[in-house]
Structure 1
């Protein structure tokens, strides 16, 4: 009797590229639906387990039902029983050579504690855009061990969902696809990381391997109409699932955002233009300040940004002043209402500290749904006419300098809240859109037909009067600095 075990898997050409790319630190595979991503994951994990005795891997899905449907059920069916056994209570495969593949889900910060002392040779994420960046980077610290085995992270995904922006930034935007890129790692402030012993820059080798349904002929042969069903999807979902388009995705809140239309190269803002600042309070979350100028034709320009964590209020106001040229005068500074909260240990609010440093604040209107609608009005793309040539072109009343890279990253990354579809879902990058929303709510809805864009003078008068009325309260903190 032969002891030969047949592996019931023949990789497609694109899957083969995925399997053979191992001289990396991080890999992302996928893009469109039907590319054979999950199938590639489970067989790649088995190959590694058999090749490296005593190795340990983990495969993550966001929820247990997803894990059960796509990974657990499939491995139970196709993994040869002669090679290992599945432990139902531990959700892991134990192979005859001592290797282990854990099957797990990760859907909250609390799950970090489950892996505080864990060690893995390979970490695999299925549908990476369903996860938060902090969970992914935390698990990088669990990629360790005493054996001389190759260690890396291999992930698969489609575009879209809550993690779209950070995944796109980490893998898609780094350069040419299907090429390993050496990427300089940075800390959460954007500063380059250096090795504590050698002083050398910390470099990661990353690659994105795209896959489309056309790369999976076995699927199309078994189900020729699958691609037709993808073609019938609404435009955003079709671009995402059929084309693997990373610039638009289902669930995107500001689908009208277009880099060619909304992003402009910097220019010198004329001194006579009205200027404003919009602020969002934070410490662990970033403190945000946006500088916005309003042209005579009613077009708003976001021309400067500041977003930084772990700043005391005194440091926040100093950075705002440092980044505000003395030649610039501001109509007002609209800010999150949390600037008016007193801490338990201080008798002074952040707003009072800002006022003492000659940066008086007015309270933002924090209506979320109405605020996002107002912001959408400013981002709206409309047909305009060149009065010299008579040609039509696309234009918008809110433009962003290309130097405001965090705003350009954040705005298109916002997604609809599943429970409140008119609202934006909580997102790690939502602090800059929040600040921009405060400014939009301090203005009238733009009128593209007439170009008549103006502040609400009665509202601003009331707000300034409210601030002036608070002057007496400031006397008790004179000399605080």
Structure 2
């Protein structure tokens, strides 16, 4: 029997990746961590260890696949172990194992994998892919042979899939820890094993782990190309944090780059009764219906203190769930809503706004200016340096704060990206409904003059308002046409 020497010596972080067992594994997080190299050798090892196994490695485009995976495997895979079929883009090995090399660049690729079965599915640069493609391929992870099955991916931060990848792998908890995650449906309900399976009635749980790696973990690259590290250091701020440091809170194309958890996210507290309160709503059925509860402090700081985002609610259910989540002790200055609430259905002679009004939730129409609206949101998110006049210490703050319990808003706001066709606008995004509702509220607030507190602290800035018309008691608020 001939002896084949594998020309690969894994770096320490690559070794951790090779030895880790979980249903879903994400490796990388920065440039130069040896991600692609780890992928191809991990695939070869599995192919040799499990005769007759089948794997697939995805890149987003064919040029990427050809330049990285195909070229590298042709260069380093020992020819004694297998042959590459150029027309099928696949390696077939002497023990019957197969590694497919594929690209997925649009929704039509679904049809390529109907009925397919894989023991390991591998995604290179996972943040370049859409979440629905990843989830669909989970259904292709199956087979009759008792092999260990998993999805193993690599990536840098950034790209169209940044938010969902971060949520799935980075946000659940500490890195290098296997997290056991309950599978849920679209509404967040726990899924259970069906009857007829060994775990019937038990929650469906999958294990996930994120294994970070940076260029510093790939000393082979640093030694062979010392200038690579210098080139990463010379990148602009966002790209440097993303590619060198593996920072998941920033990425290229991010719209609200000023968003900072340390500044904008605060622990919940009891909102004082005298603070002015508002609700902002975005309509949806297949897309989520959104309601945000926002309070305005006397110093002009806005606090997003409660959120609701749920799909497949009829208008009557939307107004009911809004009321259920609004304590009777809370009074609202007004409820600003998407103009679509005033659209009549073809089969009905009543608008959603009228249904809300019938249930004592009167709505006012939002100003739908997008670019100007996003600029106003930026103003509320803008981070400033302030001084604590008691201690003399400097600190950073912003006009908008978000309770840590509003997890969907905290996820959505930093996920927004610039529209490549209209860079001043936000690109369409699966999570843009909460930012839209926030924009409606911001646009309903008059802009304060320099040195003046936003209205809520300044009654004269309310349209039609004069100072003598207002009393400090909530019960004596006048009814201003257009708001009630």
- Give the TM-score of the pair, scaled to structure 2: 0.90
Q: CA deviation at 1:122?
A: 0.6
1:421-450: CA deviation from partner (whole Å, max 9, x where unpaired) = 222222222111111111111123355733
RMSD over aligned CA atoms reads 2.2
Q: Does 1:50 align with 2:48?
A: yes
Residue among 162, 170, 173 paired with 2:171: 173
Q: CA deviation at 1:158?
A: 0.9
Q: How does 1:380-391 map to 2 (within 5 A)?
A: 380-391=382-393
CA distance in 1, matches of 2:43, 2:363: 56
Contact 2:89–2:102 (CA<8 Å) still a contact in 1?
yes
SS of 1:422's partner is strand
Q: CA deviation at 1:395?
A: 1.2
Q: Does 1:63 align with 2:65?
A: no
Contact 1:35–1:212 (CA<8 Å) still a contact in 2?
yes
Q: How does 1:40-119 map to 2 (within 5 A)?
A: 40-119=38-117
Contact 1:377–1:446 (CA<8 Å) still a contact in 2?
no
Q: Please identify, of 372-381 and 178-187, the stretch whose mean Cα deviation from structure 2 is larger.
A: 178-187
- Equivalent residue, structure 2, for 1:182: 180
- Equivalent residue, structure 2, for 1:237: 239
Q: CA deviation at 1:268?
A: 1.8
Contact 2:371–2:424 (CA<8 Å) still a contact in 1?
yes
Contact 2:447–2:454 (CA<8 Å) still a contact in 1?
no
- Equivalent residue, structure 1, for 2:294: 292
Residue among 23, 26, 36 paired with 1:25: 23
Q: How does 1:172-321 map to 2 (within 5 A)?
A: 172-197=170-195, 198-321=200-323
- Equivalent residue, structure 2, for 1:155: 153
CA distance in 2, matches of 1:112, 1:337: 36
Contact 1:276–1:293 (CA<8 Å) still a contact in 2?
yes
User: Unaligned regions of 5+ residues in structure 1, if any?
Assistant: 469-481
- Structure 2 CA distance for partners of 1:148 and 1:446, relative to 1, 3 Å: farther
CA distance in 1, matches of 2:293, 2:483: 21
Residue among 437, 443, 449 paired with 2:445: 443
- Equivalent residue, structure 1, for 2:394: 392
SS of 1:38's partner is helix
For these two proteins, the number of residue pairs brought into alignment is 464
Contact 1:62–1:105 (CA<8 Å) still a contact in 2?
yes
Q: Please identify, of 324-333 and 216-225, the stretch whose mean Cα deviation from structure 2 is larger.
A: 324-333
Contact 1:292–1:302 (CA<8 Å) still a contact in 2?
yes
Contact 2:338–2:365 (CA<8 Å) still a contact in 1?
yes
CA distance in 1, matches of 2:78, 2:168: 36
Q: CA deviation at 1:106?
A: 2.2
1:299-319: CA deviation from partner (whole Å, max 9, x where unpaired) = 111011001111111111110
1:6-36: CA deviation from partner (whole Å, max 9, x where unpaired) = 3322221211111122x31010100111011
CA distance in 1, matches of 2:363, 2:91: 59
- Give the TM-score of the pair, scaled to structure 1: 0.91
Q: CA deviation at 1:451?
A: 2.4
CA distance in 2, matches of 1:275, 1:225: 55
- Equivalent residue, structure 1, for 2:468: none
CA distance in 1, matches of 2:483, 2:64: 53
CA distance in 2, matches of 1:101, 1:370: 51
CA distance in 1, matches of 2:333, 2:106: 42
CA distance in 1, matches of 2:343, 2:77: 58
Contact 1:277–1:291 (CA<8 Å) still a contact in 2?
yes
- Structure 2 CA distance for partners of 1:459 and 1:229, relative to 1, 3 Å: farther
CA distance in 1, matches of 2:102, 2:364: 48
Q: CA deviation at 1:241?
A: 1.0
- Structure 2 CA distance for partners of 1:360 and 1:114, relative to 1, 3 Å: farther
CA distance in 2, matches of 1:309, 1:108: 25
Residue among 376, 398, 416 paired with 1:414: 416
SS of 2:423's partner is coil
Q: CA deviation at 1:247?
A: 2.5
CA distance in 1, matches of 2:2, 2:347: 73
Q: CA deviation at 1:152?
A: 0.2
- Structure 2 CA distance for partners of 1:366 and 1:104, relative to 1, 3 Å: farther
Q: CA deviation at 1:327?
A: 2.0
